[in-house]
Amino acid sequence: EVMSRVCLMFLQYGVESFKLILSGDNLLPHANAKTTWMTDAEVKVAVEEATLRGKRVAVHARSADSVKQAVRLGCEVIYHASYTDNEALDLLEANKNKIFVAPGLSVIFKLLQEGTAYGIPPAKAREMGYEEELAAATESMKAMHKRGIRVLPGGDYGFAWAPHGTNATDLQYFVKHCGMTPMDALMSATRYGGQIMLMGNELGEVKEGYLADLLLVDGDPLADLSILLDKNRLLAIMKDGVFHKAPEIAASRSSRTPSYSPSYSPAAA
């Protein structure tokens, strides 16, 4: 009854989705990432209220039990999924055409690497369980990628140690730690990005009839994904066919020899 009332309240505010906190988190001393805190009954009510009104349910689910709970009860977007077992992976694979997983790896990597500046030195981060969780999470993502489960970047940016605007860092983590190729990682941000927004026929690919959301990049992201974090290498940013950042075309370029060929590579945003 309480869950139903809360859902209805937020629906009146015009929300498009609910986010449920199914598991704990290592930032919480009383509820670590391996714990699960919501009952099936509570989750079921939220999913029913959302489905009835054409809305969606996303979840914070780090524990294996919370991942299984989310899939079993019809939640579409799973953030984290750090801990999985064979049962969880089998459920995810069986529902891979419905489910999206965004692990939010950057917040853990950055906390372990740079947490001292924010009051969490490496020894403290390990004590809190982040080293163990990171090892589990990268193995989980490897397994999901092999099974064809859609793994996407994003999630948990906005922390001091993982600020907004650095989201493309996830793509490097996917390649270095999760078994993806650079092309796989780019597709996770582009094609899957359109799909997770239910706009797979409009976004995420460079195709006739698709929205022109494009990046013009100085270099080849397939050779070096880090260039996507360099604002100076993003020569143009186009949204819906309109330049948010137009390319600088110097008049002197017209005088350059025909052999000049800048190494630009467009990537769908």
Q: What pLDDT is recorded for position 156?
A: 84
Q: Is the pLDDT of residue 269 over 70?
A: no
> Distance between CA 192 and CA 200 in Å, rounded?
8
In the chain, what percentage of residues exceed pLDDT 90?
87
**Domain spans of the chain, in order of start:** 2-196, 214-268
Strand partners, 217: 234, 265
Please tell me the pTM assigned to this model.
0.89
Sign (positive or negative) of CA dihedral 167, 193, 145, 233: negative
Q: Which CATH superfamily is domain 2-196 in?
A: Metal-dependent hydrolases (3.20.20.140)
pLDDT in tens, 64-85: 999 999 999 999 999 999 999 9
Q: Token pair 């859902």 is at which residue? A: 7
- Contact (Cβ atoms closer than 8 angstroms) between residue 67 and residue 92: yes
Task: Point out the least confidently predicted range of 13-17, 70-74, 235-239, 257-261.
Answer: 257-261
pLDDT, mean of residues 206-220:
94
Question: Which of 147, 36, 141, 39 shows the shortest CA–CA distance to 91?
Answer: 147
- Contact (Cβ atoms closer than 8 angstroms) between residue 229 and residue 249: no
Q: What pLDDT is recorded for position 250?
A: 54
Q: Is the pLDDT of residue 251 over 50?
A: no
> Tokens for 139?
């193995």
> What does pLDDT average to over the chain?
92
CA atoms within a 13 Å half-sphere pointing along the CA-CB vector of 21: 7
Q: What pLDDT is recorded for position 112?
A: 94
Q: Is the pLDDT of residue 230 over 90?
A: yes
Question: For 12-17, which contacts have Cβ atoms below 8 Å and span 24 or more sequence positions?
Answer: 15/55, 16/55, 16/56, 17/50, 17/55, 17/56, 17/57, 17/58, 17/77
Reported confidence tier of residue 248, pLDDT bands at 50, 70, 90: confident
Exposure b/e, 122-142, CB count within 10 A at least 16 = b = eeebeebbbebbbebbbbbbb
